[in-house]
Amino acid sequence: MKRYFPLHIRVPLIFFGSAGILEYFIDSGDQPAFIKHPEIALLLVLILFIIIVFEVCYAAINNMMLQMLSEEERKAKMNAVVSKPSWLANFLKNATNATPIEHEEEIVLNHNYDGIKELDNALPPWWVWGFYATIVFAVVYMARYHVFDGDSQIQEFENEMEIARIEIEEYKKTAKDLVDHTTVVALTEASDLEAGKAVFIQNCAVCHKPDGGGSIGPNLTDEHWVLGGGINNIFKTISQGGRPAKGMEAWSKKGMKPSEIQQVASYILTLAGTNPADAKAPEGDIWKAE
Ligand code: HEC
């Protein structure tokens, strides 16, 4: 035991092992447990202290026992430790089971091709185990996918895509600023329309008039639209601007958030048919939703 886990492996192994176990079982969110809970850090220090005390006592006792042995016994003990092959050497030997070079003449086969000889080594156990493992795997695989009709790779892929799609939909519902002109829907909540109106009065009324009747910019209350009506087109115009050099800026570039654009676009929709006094003459085509 002591030979396989010398001091410099044993101590970190026990310490980080306990730290890992604590980390695994204590729910500390995305921070390490010993940062989130100072008492865990304290516990780790205590564990380290106990390990060190234990090691020191262990070494002292060992030393005392060695002192008590006679000279020969001590030498015999040391030799036993040195002459034993390490576990790694043992493992490699067992895993390959090759006949050592000194004994190769015992397994050389009788044919000789122009001086090239063939050895009859046993199959290496690691290979044989691997082969048995493939047989076990094949049985499990066949049962799972061909007898009990498990999901194929394509089916698994599609299942995961479906889950991801639902998650994206859920996320979009919480992230209001992810809307763009392809996904936007008209808002109807009074609070959203109020907010849209405020944005409109502050930023847009100079060109479109506070009632939307239009001056520099077109009338936003009639059925005629230069750049297309409906929530999607209106959102796009506000976000990306009108035709070049016409005066309608791309408001997303001026720092207007998608959620605000959605609010003001929804507000504009409510102006339809209000027929304000002194409204600008219709421009563009009559727009009909498809
Ligand atoms: C500097 C003046 C100006 C300001 C400020 C302005 N607009 Fe415009 N707007 C225009 C002009 C000019 C057009 C026509 C663009 C074109 O013909 O390409 C336009 C077009 C539009 C259209 C499309 C109308 C149609 O018939 O297709 C919408 C919708 C619109 N603006 C909304 C807004 C909103 C919302 C704001 C505020 C965030 C705003 N505008 C601020 C000048 C302005």
By the 10 Å C-beta count (0-12 exposed, 13-18 middle, 19+ buried), 212 is classed as: buried
Question: What are 224's strand-pairing partners?
Answer: 286
Among 187, 197, 201, 208, the mutation site with the greatest number of ligand 1 atoms within 8 A of its Cβ is 208
Mean pLDDT of the chain: 89
Side-chain-side CA neighbours of 233 within 13 Å: the count stands at 14
Determine the distance separating the centroid of ligand 1 and the alpha carbon of 195, expressed in angstroms: 18
Determine the distance separating the centroid of ligand 1 and the alpha carbon of 231, expressed in angstroms: 14
pLDDT on residue 81 = 66
Q: Provide the b/e sequence for 249-263 (b: ≥16 CB within 10 Å).
A: eebbeeebebebbbb
Q: Could you tell me the domains of the chain?
A: 7-83 (no CATH), 190-286 (1.10.760.10)
Find how far residue 251's CA is from the centre of its chain: 34
Contact, 115 vs 32, CB < 8 A? no
The encoded tokens of residue 191 equal 């609070």
The encoded tokens of residue 119 equal 């050895």
Determine the distance separating the centroid of ligand 1 and the alpha carbon of 174, expressed in angstroms: 29
State the Cα–Cα distance between residues 233 and 227, nearest whole angstrom.
7
pLDDT tens sequence across 65-84: 888 888 888 788 777 766 77
| E strand or H helix that includes residue 25 | helix 7-25
| 237 C-beta closer than 6 A to ligand 1 | yes
| 214 C-beta closer than 6 A to ligand 1 | no
Contact, 221 vs 274, CB < 8 A? yes
* Minimum-distance ligand 1 atom for the alpha carbon of 225: 26
Stated pTM of the model: 0.52
pLDDT tens sequence across 210-265: 999 999 999 999 999 999 999 999 999 999 999 998 999 999 999 999 999 999 99
| 187 C-beta closer than 6 A to ligand 1 | no
| Average pLDDT of the residues in 157-170 | 93
Name the DSSP letter for residue 18. H
